[in-house]
Amino acid sequence: MTRVYRLALATVLATLALIAVGGLARLQPAGSGCGNDWPRCNGSWLPTLAWAPLIEYLHRGIALGVVFLTLTTAVVALRTSGSLRNLRVVALCGLAAIVLQSAFGAVAALWGSPAGVAIMHLTAAMLFLACAVATLATAAAWRGSPGWLADLGRAPSPRADGVLAWAVTSAAVIALILVVFGASTSASGAFACATWPLCAEGTATVTPETAVHLGYRATALLGGLAAAGAALLAWRRGASPTARALTSAALVLVVVQTALNAVAAVSGDPVWLSAPHLVVAALIWVVLLGATMAAWGPRPEAAPHVQAPIEIAGASPPAAFPLPSTSLHASPTALAVASASPPLGLDLSLEPLVRARVAIADYVALTKPGIMTLLLTTTLSAMLMAERGLPPFWLVAVTLLGGILASGGANVLNCYIDRDIDAQMSRTRNRAIAAGRVSPDAALAFGISLTVASVLLLGMGVNWVAAALALAGNLFYVFVYTRWLKRSTPYNIVIGGAAGAVPPLVGWAAVTGELSPLAWGLFAIVFAWTPPHFWALALLKQGEYTRAAVPMLPVVSGERETRRQIVIYTVILGVVCVALAPFGLGGIYLASALVLNGVFLGYAVWLYLRPSKRGARQMFFYSLWYLAFLFAAAVVDRIVLA
């Protein structure tokens, strides 16, 4: 096992050297080193005695050495008797990653380093580096030394501090995103801001390059906050010395990287600064990756003193570590499977993986992805209508990501406030907060973090009009609807529907920077659509709302009045849709609106005349498709007319 450890250590060091030399190679224009020739250099197997070709050839030589070391490590790990299955797996993953990364490097050399290929090349390098570090840590854990490195290979553990582990993991993920984002700014030439930390050009002259660079700075800010939070938690929650040291080192590196960013901005982004930028970014990623592995290990204060088991005839040997008492709401059979792997190495037992899967699923479920999908559909449709075609890909991606964060944050905060109501309704009692799987404080922090991230991303990556609208919709949904209207009036959804009608405004503002009458018309459609849509669901869940003392319209005024109100608001919705046609929409939209609203009104009248759960259910599901089809028709109409 010592041979595997030494080979893995050599692979990690060689990879860091490869990244450093790669940063030097980026100082030259694409193709200037070897003339877009690979594997030869300017038509020759030997480079000329000049800086650019020598650096390029050195980079290729180190890359070849890394490939050889990775291949040798994988072969030795496979052939070593008694080696851990986990060690063989991560070694083979590293081999696959380096092959992929080398392929991207060859394509970048042959095609003059196009932006997309250069980004993929660096991303594959970071993923390979992660595999190499995991191989090194697993080998160190199996041999038992060095101690600090062996600590990294003992994760995940059932006794890990979940709060700390997820915080450090989030910081590591943001660090990886930051490396990739930095590569995209460099590859696209997005050095457009002459000041730091803000951009002197102002919002009136924002270009795509400026927006990308501002998005990079926003991500860097989130990364810095995440690294600081991880370090603070590591020291306050009594993490292992390795975890504390690595999180502190990551925070120091973030400060260094921030200083480099400031120097680059005020000095006109000199090319030579890209090399140290890349090296420090790679070190932050490696250090936070190691901190993540250490954080998923057992807490120092919870590490048990293992005594020799007492053998009793006919009895099974006791487990070295007792199972935690946390309820996972998973199948007993799955949780009963114990790991037979030794205490050293990557303990990939089923139970920690189930814990991780359940935790991720719970946090994702709190964001209500089903509701989010419809909101994103209206956002994207508004962007297409405002552009009369397809907006730039980066603008669509950043806007939708900001919408995901804004909607997710609002929904998490909704679950936090309504946890008492959710616990009394069968439809919601299994939500993570109501069921006790996620603490209210953790959910509150999660929701606020998503909201803040959405505002920063939209403001710095798109424009502040879109960010302000997203924040307004978030606050209206959380405080006006959830906190006040939902518990005080049967017409809560009529007024509260304004929150769900904000996404089209965000999408329109993202493209144009302002709001036109057509944008407000899209807002009016969603606003008028919400009552009949939601009251159909309320008819299905009337009993649950009654038990939870939520004054929904069927509970307060009865089913007949609710069905009558559904008919009235469906008529209002149809009028709004038809009235919107003169504000920039034509025959395609108008014909589609008449048909879709006619079917919608037919469902409403049928439900009023022949009340049934089946009718309410059919109307509810039709309302979902109705909104998607209506916005799709408007998009087609705008593009065809354009």
Q: What is the DSSP annotation of 176-220?
A: HHHHHHHHHHHHTT----SSSSS-TT-GGG--HHHHHHHHHHHHH
Q: Do the Cβ atoms of 378 and 507 come closer than 8 Å?
A: yes
Residue 314, judged by CB atoms within 10 A of its CB (0-12, 13-18, 19+), counts as exposed
Which stretch of 109-113, 137-141, 182-186, 214-218 has the lowest confidence by average pLDDT? Answer: 109-113
- C-alpha dihedral over 24, 29, 33, 36, to 10 degrees? 130
In tens, the pLDDT along 364-397 reads 888 888 788 888 889 999 999 998 888 888 898 8
Does residue 117 sit in the same domain as residue 65? yes
In a domain, residue 541? The reply is yes
Q: Where are the beta strands (DSSP E) in 461-536?
A: none
CA distance 291 to 246: 5
Does residue 564 sit in the same domain as residue 617? yes
CA distance 476 to 498: 8
pLDDT of residue 89: 80
Residue written as token pair 């939902």: 486
pTM: 0.51
Q: Which has more confidence, 93 or 80?
A: 93
pLDDT of residue 266: 59
Is the pLDDT reported for residue 114 higher than 80? no
pLDDT of residue 198: 56
Does residue 534 sit in the same domain as residue 394? yes
CATH number of the domain where residue 392 is located: 1.10.600
User: 366 in helix, strand or coil?
Assistant: helix
In tens, the pLDDT along 499-515 reads 889 999 999 999 998 88
Length of the chain in terms of residues written: 642
CA distance 250 to 172: 10
In tens, the pLDDT along 536-575 reads 988 988 888 888 788 888 888 888 999 999 999 999 999 9
pLDDT of residue 274: 59
In tens, the pLDDT along 618-633 reads 999 899 889 989 999 9
In a domain, residue 345? The reply is no
Greatest mean pLDDT range, 314-323, 520-529, 578-587 = 520-529
Q: Do the Cβ atoms of 406 and 454 come closer than 8 Å?
A: yes
Token couple for 598: 């006619």
Does residue 149 sit in the same domain as residue 166? no
Number of domains composing the chain = 3
Is the pLDDT reported for residue 597 higher than 60? yes
pLDDT of residue 371: 81
In a domain, residue 327? The reply is no
Name every residue whose Cβ is closer than 8 Å to that of residue 231 and which is 6 or more positions away in sequence.
244, 247, 248, 250, 251
Does residue 139 sit in the same domain as residue 166? no
Does residue 239 sit in the same domain as residue 283? yes
Name every residue whose Cβ is closer than 8 Å to that of residue 495 and which is 6 or more positions away in sequence.
480, 481, 485, 489
In tens, the pLDDT along 140-197 reads 877 777 777 777 776 666 677 777 888 888 888 888 877 776 655 554 444 455 555 5
Does residue 166 sit in the same domain as residue 149? no
Phi/psi at 25 (5° precision): -65, -30
Domain closes at, from 115, 136, 154: 154
In a domain, residue 440? The reply is yes
Which stretch of 133-137, 467-471, 610-614, 627-631 has the lowest confidence by average pLDDT? Answer: 133-137
Does residue 181 sit in the same domain as residue 126? no
pLDDT of residue 236: 82
Token couple for 8: 């893995």
Q: Can you list the pairs that 512-519 forms with residues at least 24 positions away whose Cβ atoms lie under 8 Å?
A: 512/386, 513/203, 513/463, 513/465, 514/465, 515/465, 516/386, 516/583, 516/584, 517/583, 517/584, 518/385, 518/580, 518/583, 518/584, 518/585, 519/382, 519/386
In tens, the pLDDT along 270-304 reads 555 556 777 788 888 888 888 888 888 777 754 44
CA distance 126 to 180: 9
Average confidence (pLDDT) over 402-423: 90
- C-beta neighbour count of 359 within 10 angstroms: 17
Phi/psi at 40 (5° precision): -80, 175
Does residue 441 sit in the same domain as residue 468? yes
Domain closes at, from 258, 279, 300: 300
Does residue 126 sit in the same domain as residue 166? no
Q: Which has more confidence, 450 or 117?
A: 450
Does residue 34 sit in the same domain as residue 106? yes
Phi/psi at 611 (5° precision): -65, 135
pLDDT of residue 52: 58
What spatial distance separates the first Cα and last Cα of the chain, rounded to whole Å? 67
In a domain, residue 335? The reply is no
pLDDT of residue 333: 33
- Model confidence at 74, pLDDT cuts 50, 70, 90, reads confident
Q: Which has more confidence, 93 or 433?
A: 433
Helices 440-461 and 393-417 meet at what angle, rounded to 10?
160
CA distance 394 to 208: 8
In a domain, residue 108? The reply is yes
Domain that holds residue 4: 1-154
In a domain, residue 551? The reply is yes
Cis peptide before 156 (omega within 30 of 0): yes
In a domain, residue 346? The reply is no
Domain closes at, from 154, 170, 186: 154
Phi/psi at 44 (5° precision): -130, 155
Element (H, E) at 83: none
- C-beta neighbour count of 353 within 10 angstroms: 12
H helices present in 237-368, as ranges = 241-266, 274-295, 332-336, 350-366
Token couple for 197: 């930390």
Is the pLDDT reported for residue 66 higher than 70? yes
Does residue 135 sit in the same domain as residue 237? no
